[in-house]
């Protein structure tokens, strides 16, 4: 079960999809409906199979964590990519609200080029193919999903991991400007049974920036 991140859709997984399909039946989940992490998690739980491997990227990692806590019997293994469990700061809430107010005045044109570049490794900041792919996902999801996801306020969730006992893989990126290594390390430290790996020369968008290395790590963890 693949859960994407903020303003991402199924295209996020396109370059690692063939590897995952060799290992089992793949299902895509969206985060297009729901105004909180718990609301998103409960919506997904309603459609989960009896047992699955749950993969959550970024915002999807927040949701995957809550699913593993609320429906542990359905999660055989958990994989968290470039994510965190820290709370939204007051400054982030204020900044997000300002963006939402701007959308009441100006038309939605997807995420800003500055935000898209920040999500990539510095060496990829001018990679037009990656930037176009990311912007296309943002445009395809549209204004209402952007506002809905931007409005989500996240509570601190590190304590949740002490109660998640399924095998869990945590993957971070060395040059991730969106989610720090310390946030990923805090997740791994709180888990009873973690496997932790850092991708080198990679920014936040690991499924797009380092698909081959990521696919190899996922394959090893899933089949072990």
119-141 pLDDT tens trace? 999 999 999 999 999 999 999 99
Q: Above pLDDT 90, what percent of the chain?
A: 99
CA–CA distance, 98 with 81 (Å, rounded to integer): 28
Pairing of strands 52-57, 194-199: unpaired
Which residue, 166, 185, 178, 221, is CA-closest to 203?
178
Residue whose pair of structure tokens reads 């850092």 in the numeric block: 198
Asked whether 83 and 184 are in contact (CB, 8 A), the reply is yes
- Average pLDDT over all residues of the chain: 96
The pLDDT, as a whole number, for residue 77 is 98
Residue 28 pLDDT greater than 90, yes or no: yes
Instruction: Indicate the pTM of the whole model.
Output: 0.96
The pLDDT, as a whole number, for residue 114 is 94
Q: What is the pLDDT of residues 29-87, one digit of tens each?
A: 999 999 999 999 999 999 999 999 999 999 999 999 999 999 999 999 999 999 999 99
Q: Which residues of 105-131 are buried (b: 16+ CB within 10 A; e: fewer)?
A: eeeeebbeeeebbebbbeebbebeebb
Confidence of residue 158 (pLDDT cuts 50, 70, 90): very high
Sign (positive or negative) of CA dihedral 61, 66, 71, 73: positive
Q: What is the pLDDT of residues 5-19, one digit of tens each?
A: 999 999 999 999 999
The pLDDT, as a whole number, for residue 36 is 96
Asked whether 187 and 84 are in contact (CB, 8 A), the reply is yes
**Ordered structural domains, the chain, with CATH:** 2-87+155-223 (3.40.50.1820), 90-150 (no CATH)
Tally of CA atoms within 13 A in the half-sphere of 146 that contains its CB: 22
Confidence of residue 202 (pLDDT cuts 50, 70, 90): very high
Mean pLDDT of 197-206: 98
The pLDDT, as a whole number, for residue 104 is 84
Cα end-to-end distance, the chain, whole Å: 18
């Amino acid at each position: 079960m693949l859960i994407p991140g903020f303003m991402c859709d199924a295209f996020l997984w396109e370059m690692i999809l063939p590897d995952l399909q060799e290992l089992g039946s793949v299902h895509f989940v969206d985060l297009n409906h729901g105004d909180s992490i718990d609301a998103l998690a409960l919506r997904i739980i309603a459609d989960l199979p009896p047992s699955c491997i749950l993969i959550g990227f970024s915002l999807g990692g927040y949701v995957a964590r809550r699913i593993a806590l609320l429906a542990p019997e359905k999660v055989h293994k958990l994989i968290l990519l470039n994510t965190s469990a820290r709370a939204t700061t007051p400054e982030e809430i204020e900044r997000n609200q300002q963006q939402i107010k701007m959308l009441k005045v100006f038309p939605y044109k997807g995420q800003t080029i500055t935000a898209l570049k920040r999500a990539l490794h510095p060496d990829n900041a001018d990679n037009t193919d990656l930037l176009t792919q990311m912007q296309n996902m943002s445009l395809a999801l549209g204004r209402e999903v952007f506002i809905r996801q931007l409005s989500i306020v996240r509570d601190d969730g590190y304590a949740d991991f002490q109660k998640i006992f399924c095998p869990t893989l945590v993957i971070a990126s060395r040059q991730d400007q969106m989610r720090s290594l310390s946030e990923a390390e805090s997740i791994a430290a709180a888990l009873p049974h973690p496997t932790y790996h850092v991708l080198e020369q990679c920014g936040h968008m690991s499924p797009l920036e380092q698909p081959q290395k990521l696919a190899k790590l996922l394959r090893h963890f899933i089949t072990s």
